[in-house]
Amino acid sequence: MAGSRLPFPLTLTGDGITLREWRSEDLEDLVRMLDEPEIARWSPMPSPFDHEAGVAYLKRCYQNRVSGQRIQLAIVAAGRPVGEVLLFGVDLGLKEAELGYLVDARERRRGLASGALSLLSAYAQSSLHLGRLLLRIDPRNVSSTAVARRCGYRLTGEAPILQEGPHGSSRLDTWELVEGQADSRRDRQKNVAARRYGRRT
Ligand SMILES: CC(C)(COP(=O)(O)OP(=O)(O)OC[C@H]1O[C@@H](n2cnc3c(N)ncnc32)[C@H](O)[C@@H]1OP(=O)(O)O)[C@@H](O)C(=O)NCCC(=O)NCCS
């Protein structure tokens, strides 16, 4: 990574999805997406998430992007923002960072979160040279733990991080990407495609 700033602007593509910077014209889609019970339950979003919260969110996102503090990208499918994936808490000394994700309730169970997480994880390893990629997940969040597992992350066994929130206390487990796993999902897909055409890669 050149200097200590994360790259801005950034676009990543693969697996039929695009990860791109949030834009001011995404406000309506953003508010509709983030004003949702599962997102309120498992992420630190204000709830209800209204127009004003959306304006503040996009402003803070832009500030974090231009200052190179975090990567915060819209997941775009069929031309519309349908989720978000983030990389933050970068420690250049330890070469580690944390990632996070969310997907529009109407677009779930289509592989979008795992596609986006795989793309950003691969980029963080190959272009940012971050060797230790982490997720922090409440074990009761079954969809998020499924995404982590599918993308090649494994539980580290580190002590849970205790967190108080509007839904009571939670204990976040730490998951780490197992080396060489960032591309495993795409490789599996390639193998499926190759089998369909009668050959293996
Ligand atoms: C977690 C979340 C991002 C998953 O998004 P998604 O696009 O539906 O996830 P994917 O389609 O990539 O699913 C990946 C895996 O999780 C599984 N999965 C997804 N939702 C699930 C659910 N509710 N129950 C069980 N498994 C689930 C999928 O079947 C898939 O597993 P597979 O490999 O067996 O096919 C979405 O549910 C969400 O936005 N939740 C609220 C915010 C949140 O919890 N963020 C994470 C905070 S740590």
Average pLDDT over all residues of the chain:
90
* pLDDT, tens digit (0-9, with 9 covering 90-100), for 141-152: 999 999 999 999
Give the atom of ligand 1 at the shortest distance from the alpha carbon of 108: 8
Q: Going along 65-167, which residue ranges are E strands?
A: 71-77, 80-91, 96-103, 132-137, 153-155, 161-165
For residue 201, is pLDDT > 60?
A: no
pLDDT, average across residues 156-178? 93
**What is the whole-number distance in angstroms between the Cα of residue 184 and the centre of ligand 1?**
18
pLDDT, average across residues 40-69? 96
For residue 190, is pLDDT > 50?
A: no
Residue pair 61/22 in contact (Cβ under 8 Å)? The answer is yes
Q: Which pLDDT score is estimated for 23?
A: 98
Q: Which pLDDT score is estimated for 183?
A: 60
- The span from the CA of 171 to the CA of 11, in Å, is 33
CB 156: neighbour CB atoms within 10 A? 13
Query: Using CA positions, which residue lies closest to atom 18 of ligand 1?
Result: 143
Exposure pattern of 165-179 as b/e (b: 16+ CB <10 Å)? eeeeebebbbbbbee
Pocket lining for ligand 1, CB < 6 angstroms: 38-39, 42-43, 100-103, 108-114, 137, 141-144, 146-147, 150
Answer whether CATH 3.40.720.10 is correct for domain 12-196.
no
Above pLDDT 70, what percent of the chain? 89
Query: Which helix (H) or strand (E) is 173 found in, with range?
Result: strand 168-177
* pLDDT, tens digit (0-9, with 9 covering 90-100), for 2-25: 567 999 999 999 988 999 999 999
For residue 57, is pLDDT > 80?
A: yes
Q: Which of 35-39, 120-124, 144-148, 196-200 shows the lowest mean pLDDT across its residues?
A: 196-200
Q: Which of 88, 147, 167 to mutate to test the pocket of ligand 1 (most atoms within 8 A of CB)?
A: 147
For the chain, give every domain's residue range: 12-196
Q: Which of 143, 161, 175 to mutate to test the pocket of ligand 1 (most atoms within 8 A of CB)?
A: 143
